[in-house]
């Protein structure tokens, strides 16, 4: 099967006709099969057959993470359990996990989407796909794995962790595409260096990185240290897992697979749909899923939609890389701060390593944001005066970008914990 699906370059009219047909089918089916959706749809004044155009989407009710939790574990499934062939779950930081289920058909559709995603990022059947996302209830490992196999590439089911072994296998098996979180990619690069593995010993040419926010500057760093092309892949368990959107070789936003999901951007405060180009909360509606299909799922991720066709020829809307989550936002003395903004500033200052953590505390009723960042080994041996200058520079630049004063703590190389999956960028002691 050719995994450059022509649907990706369809004229918008044709695509929208497909979306409408699928949206109508999904809304009607959820009304029939899932009491929760029936109630919500009725409250919004909808009965089967009422979705007449894509504009009606705006009138449909949202689904939230709390709705999934309230119906834990399987309450929103639209098929009997005997038709569910796979369960995944995302642990989240608080409360019950979010549980999702797939039919055999859903697994096929998902594998196909991920196969397409690998192709969008420049991969092919000739690639050896090193999957270092965790295997398990997390969707990353199995998601990329099935996609790589579906494409006909060679899947290496490494899972996360045991980094030295990852490097050894990468050398021995000739991995060409690395799939993991951006923070883990840096960890692997560092271990590769420590093991004295030369660039010529590995065949890596690109990486498909996601599952956590990362900045363009972090991408530059990863591309520099690994000498590869790094592509941002986005997804979430509730919607399908990885494979909702991905960057093509142009790297100007992530192509949303709009034949399977309809994206919207809303104002997180009012719930109103925002015009193109405005930043807000991403919302997705599943239009090609049987087991669990969500209407207008509020992701809490912040992005923008780009509606112009991409120079690569694809016509599906793109989303800008995620700048943060509505629930990741730190409010420091009234100022909204996203870890990715701090990352962007840090990554532009020479002498620092790409490892940092933000620690927030409240001392004498005042919020204190401490930016802990590792210095590079060369900088570490500098004289105190130079380190003090560096500290001041970081403080000034972060402060002028964020508009809030911060404390800076330079850390020894390798003193900040390395991630093997999703990195923890902020520790908020005010909530502990």
Q: Which residues bind ligand DLL (CB under 6 A)?
A: 90, 133, 138-140, 143, 210-213, 232-237, 241-242, 299, 301, 322, 325
Which residue, 111 or 390, is less far from ligand DLL as judged by CB? 111
Euclidean distance between CA atoms 120 and 294, whole angstroms: 25
Which residue, 116 or 410, is less far from ligand DLL as judged by CB? 116
Smallest distance from ligand DLL to CB 210, Å: 3
Through-space distance between the first and last CA atoms of the chain, rounded to whole angstroms: 51
Euclidean distance between CA atoms 249 and 205, whole angstroms: 13
Euclidean distance between CA atoms 345 and 313, whole angstroms: 33
Euclidean distance between CA atoms 169 and 173, whole angstroms: 6
Which residue, 209 or 226, is less far from ligand DLL as judged by CB? 209
Smallest distance from ligand DLL to CB 245, Å: 8
Smallest distance from ligand DLL to CB 324, Å: 9
Which residue, 93 or 365, is less far from ligand DLL as judged by CB? 93
Long-range contacts of 306-310 (CB under 8 A, 24+ apart): 306/252, 306/253, 306/276, 306/277, 307/276, 310/248, 310/250, 310/252, 310/253, 310/255
Smallest distance from ligand DLL to CB 234, Å: 4
**Sequential DSSP letters for 259-292:** TTEEEEEE-TTT-PBPPTT--EEEEEEESS-SSS
Euclidean distance between CA atoms 31 and 286, whole angstroms: 14
Which residue, 24 or 299, is less far from ligand DLL as judged by CB? 299
Report helix, strand or coil for 159: coil
Q: Find the residue with minimal CB distance to ligand DLL.
A: 210
For residue 63, how many other CB atoms are within 10 A of its CB? Answer: 24
Which residue, 90 or 124, is less far from ligand DLL as judged by CB? 90
- The closest alpha carbon to 277, from 232, 224, 317, belongs to 317
Smallest distance from ligand DLL to CB 299, Å: 5
Smallest distance from ligand DLL to CB 243, Å: 8
């Amino acid at each position: 099967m050719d995994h450059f699906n022509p649907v990706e370059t369809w004229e918008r009219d044709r695509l929208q006709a497909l979306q409408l047909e699928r949206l109508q089918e999904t809304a009607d089916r959820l009304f029939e099969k899932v009491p929760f959706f029936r109630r919500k749809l009725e409250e919004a004044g909808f009965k089967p057959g009422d979705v007449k155009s894509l504009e009606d989407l705006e009138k449909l009710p949202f689904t939230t993470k709390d709705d999934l939790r309230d119906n834990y574990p399987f309450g929103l499934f639209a098929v009997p359990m005997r038709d569910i062939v796979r369960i995944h779950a995302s642990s989240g930081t608080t409360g019950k996990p979010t549980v999702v289920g797939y039919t055999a058909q859903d697994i096929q559709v998902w594998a196909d989407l991920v196969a397409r995603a690998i192709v969008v990022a420049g991969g092919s059947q000739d690639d050896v796909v090193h999957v270092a996302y965790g295997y398990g209830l997390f969707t990353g490992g199995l998601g990329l794995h099935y996609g790589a196999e579906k494409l006909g590439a060679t899947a290496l089911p490494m899972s996360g962790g045991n980094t030295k072994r990852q490097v050894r296998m990468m050398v021995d098996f000739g991995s060409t595409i690395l799939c993991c979180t951006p923070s883990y990619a840096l960890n692997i690069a560092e271990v590769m260096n420590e093991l004295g593995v030369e660039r010529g010993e590995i065949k890596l040419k690109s990486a498909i990185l996601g599952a956590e926010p990362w900045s363009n500057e972090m991408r530059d760093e990863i591309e520099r240290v690994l000498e590869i092309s790094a592509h941002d892949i986005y997804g979430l368990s509730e919607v399908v897992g990885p494979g909702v959107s991905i960057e093509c070789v142009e790297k100007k936003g992530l192509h949303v697979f709009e034949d399977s999901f309809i994206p919207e951007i809303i104002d997180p405060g009012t719930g109103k749909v925002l015009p193109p180009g405005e930043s807000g909360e991403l919302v997705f509606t599943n239009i090609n899923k049987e087991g669990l299909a969500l209407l207008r799922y509020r992701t809490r991720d912040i992005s923008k939609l780009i509606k112009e066709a991409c120079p690569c020829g694809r016509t599906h809307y793109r989303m800008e890389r995620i700048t943060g989550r509505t629930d990741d936002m730190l409010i420091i003395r009234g100022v909204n701060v996203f870890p990715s903004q701090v990352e962007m500033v840090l990554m532009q200052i020479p002498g620092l390593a790409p490892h940092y953590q933000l620690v927030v505390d409240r001392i004498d009723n005042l919020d204190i944001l401490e930016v802990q960042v590792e210095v590079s080994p060369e900088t570490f041996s500098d004289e105190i005066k130079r380190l003090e200058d560096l500290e001041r520079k970081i403080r000034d630049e972060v402060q002028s970008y964020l508009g809030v004063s911060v404390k800076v703590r330079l850390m020894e190389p390798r003193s900040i914990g390395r991630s093997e999956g999703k990195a923890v960028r902020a520790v908020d002691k005010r909530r502990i």
